Amino acid sequence: MFMRQSLTVAFLSATCAMASAAETTRLLILHTNDCHGQCGTRKATWVRRQDPPLVGGVGRAAAVVRDERKARGDALLVLDGGDWYAGTPEGAIDAGLEYLKLLSMIGYDAMCVGNHDFDHGIPNLQRLLREARLPGIAANLYEVGANARVAWVPAWRIVERAGLRIALVGIVTTATPEISHPDARTIVFLEPAEALRRARKELEGKVDWILPVTHQGVEEDRQLARAHPDLPLIVGGHSHTFLKEGVREGSVLIVQAGTKLSAIGRVEVEVDRAARKVLSARASLQDLDVEPSEPVAEVEAAISAIVAKSDERMSVVVGEASGHFGRSKDPLASSAAGNLVADSLREHARADVGIMNRGGVRTDLAAGKLTRRDLYEFLPFDNDVTVVSIEGAVLHELFRRAIEGKSHSGIEVSGVVLRARRGAEGNAFLGATIGGAELDKRKTYRVAMHSFMADGGDAYIEKVPLGPARIDEPLLLRDLLEVRLKARGSLAPDDGNRYEVAP
């Protein structure tokens, strides 16, 4: 009798387990962000300076997606968190179109628009979305003076995967008008939590899962998670953060995969098919540090073609670096890379002050021969040398915003020593000396920067209007460095700190 009862219980348990297994399934999400025009591999100098390994690229990412698609079928979702093309010579061809045609070969289900995707203006972004056939999304872009989203990019895309109807909702950083093309100031970037609230209301009853795909950075994603604590997952971008296992804000998992296709993010999602809901999500990063055993032939051919278009000019050696020009992660510490650009600006313009926004310097310069490609990747944005004559009071406010502001990475300076104090609630600006003398708020200074900053970019200074107080020289920053290299032959790093930090 006991044995018969035991067999019955065992049979019922096995049956329940089989039923439960039949009602749950797994969905794999592969995600990238901030590709920034990266076609092939690049040297991972952050792993080791000498003989660095080669990582990343569209070819390796495409091979991973292809292999997982073969293995998973419709239980695969492929997403991107924005900033698609700006950053390499290949990304610059036809204002991004050639690279985006290549990137689209990976096979994304949805791609959030990023701030740098506005870099050539809204008409160009519209052209890219249309001609590259990108599955772009952005739910927080609204027409000025109207309670209506822009018509040229969908707010979301709905797909069916693993038995769920999933709405992929795009959210773009509200800082875009300050850090991209002036066209971005002609539309409204709605606050993300409110934009998502509106989207959820419109999608209620139509989908099983709302998945935000964002381009706003980890801290802003945390804020979004606090406003919408029932979300299982946010797939992000913008801050270039390598989140090996994601981070959690409450029960919300936030993921991001660094930059330049160095890695591809993986999120394993367990789905209850009967209840039509997400049970769990677990994140990891897959480094793209190994050549695929079977490359995707058509993607590799497209990479070779686009690189060939830019390589003839970009492979020219223009000089040499006698040491490594690294960047600083400390907002109150100068770097060799930043000092180089700020000094080049000031000396070229014979100015009192040289200023460079840290966000404009996108990589280090390694010691050794320097090619035009190296300079392009170092300073990829099409910003011209600009000289402005401004009062000391304006310059004082610029320095204060740079040191006390929390939304940007700060500035590098030349001819200036900036004094500051660190604090638990934020840094404080204490003053500055220019040419050894205390900054005089009543004096007019000659300041060299670049056109993006002079136009109000990064919001360190209000736009300086054209006229006697502003001179725009048709010389890109990277071309300025090439001129400097031709005159000197080599560049030596200056690691001197232009910040004095009070204890």
Q: What is the pLDDT of residue 445?
A: 97
Tokens found for residue 344? 């080049």
Q: How far apart are CA 211 and CA 12, in angstroms?
A: 37
Q: Are residues 224 and 332 in the same domain?
A: no
Max CA pair span of the chain: 102
Contact 332, 420 (CB under 8 A): yes
Query: Is 15 part of a structural domain of the chain?
Result: no
Query: Is 415 part of a structural domain of the chain?
Result: yes
Q: Are residues 334 and 271 in the same domain?
A: no
Q: Which of 308, 328, 362 is the last residue of a domain?
A: 308
Q: Are residues 175 and 191 in the same domain?
A: yes
Q: How far apart are CA 211 and CA 320, in angstroms?
A: 47
Q: How far apart are CA 376 and CA 374, in angstroms?
A: 5
Radius of gyration (C-alpha) of the chain in whole angstroms: 25
* DSSP symbols for 295-333: --HHHHHHHHHHHHHHHHHHT-EEEEESS-B---SSTTS
Of residues 58, 30, 44, 77, the one with CA closest to residue 261: 58
Tokens found for residue 347? 């000396």
The ranges of the chain with pLDDT < 50 are: 1-21
Host domain of residue 408: 316-502
Q: Are residues 282 and 136 in the same domain?
A: yes
Scanning the structure block, which residue is given the tokens 């797909």? 159
Q: Where does 24-119 have alpha helices with state H?
A: 58-72, 89-92, 97-103
Query: Is 7 part of a structural domain of the chain?
Result: no
Burial class (CB in 10 A: 0-12, 13-18, 19+), 289: middle
* DSSP symbols for 284-295: EEEE--S--SS-
Tokens found for residue 91? 């990304």
Q: Are residues 279 and 239 in the same domain?
A: yes
Could you tell me whether strands 263-272 and 444-450 are parallel, antiparallel, or unpaired per DSSP bridges?
unpaired
Q: Are residues 335 and 206 in the same domain?
A: no
Q: How far apart are CA 244 and CA 266, in angstroms?
A: 10
pLDDT in tens, 9-60: 444 344 444 434 458 999 999 999 999 999 999 888 777 767 788 899 999 9
Q: How far apart are CA 89 and CA 96, in angstroms?
A: 10
CATH number of the domain that 49 lies in?
3.60.21.10
Scanning the structure block, which residue is given the tokens 């604090």? 423
CATH number of the domain that 461 lies in?
3.90.780.10
Q: Which of 269, 290, 308 is the last residue of a domain?
A: 308
Q: Are residues 253 and 334 in the same domain?
A: no
Scanning the structure block, which residue is given the tokens 């204490």? 430
The pTM of this model reads 0.76
Per residue in 153-190, is it b (16+ CB within 10 Å) or e — as a string? bbbbbebebbbbebbbbbbbbbbbbbbbbebbeebbbb
Query: Is 6 part of a structural domain of the chain?
Result: no
Q: How far apart are CA 318 and CA 339, in angstroms?
A: 20
Under DSSP, the state recorded for 459 is G
Q: Which of 264, 284, 308 is the last residue of a domain?
A: 308
Q: Where does 296-431 have alpha helices with state H?
A: 297-314, 336-349, 372-378, 392-404
Q: Are residues 158 and 211 in the same domain?
A: yes
Tokens found for residue 121? 């203006």
Q: How far apart are CA 99 and CA 81, in angstroms?
A: 16
Q: Could you tell me the CA-to-CA distances from 379 to 21, 75, 322, 362, 368 in Å, in that order? A: 53, 40, 19, 6, 18
Query: Is 16 part of a structural domain of the chain?
Result: no
Burial class (CB in 10 A: 0-12, 13-18, 19+), 31: buried
Phi (first) and psi of residue 438, to 5 degrees: -60, 140
Burial class (CB in 10 A: 0-12, 13-18, 19+), 151: exposed
Side-chain-side CA neighbours of 85 within 13 Å: the count stands at 27
Q: Could you tell me the CA-to-CA distances from 112 to 116, 182, 236, 332, 462 in Å, in that order? A: 12, 20, 9, 32, 29
Contact 344, 355 (CB under 8 A): no
Query: Is 433 part of a structural domain of the chain?
Result: yes
Query: Is 55 part of a structural domain of the chain?
Result: yes
Sign for the CA dihedral angle at 370, 372, 374, 379 comes to: positive
Of residues 102, 114, 92, 138, the one with CA closest to residue 34: 114
Q: Are residues 284 and 320 in the same domain?
A: no
Q: Are residues 209 and 99 in the same domain?
A: yes
Could you tell me whether strands 470-476 and 317-321 are parallel, antiparallel, or unpaired per DSSP bridges?
unpaired
Q: How far apart are CA 336 and CA 332, in angstroms?
A: 14
Q: Are residues 260 and 371 in the same domain?
A: no
Q: What is the pLDDT of residue 371?
A: 95
Q: What is the pLDDT of residue 22?
A: 53
Q: What is the pLDDT of residue 303?
A: 96
Q: How many domains does the chain have?
A: 2
Q: Could you tell me the CA-to-CA distances from 399 to 6, 158, 408, 427, 496 in Å, in that order? A: 77, 46, 13, 12, 19
Contact 214, 139 (CB under 8 A): no
Q: How far apart are CA 243 and CA 218, in angstroms?
A: 10
What is the pLDDT of the chain when averaged over all its residues? 92
Query: Is 2 part of a structural domain of the chain?
Result: no
Strand pairing partners for 242? 257
Q: Are residues 222 and 76 in the same domain?
A: yes
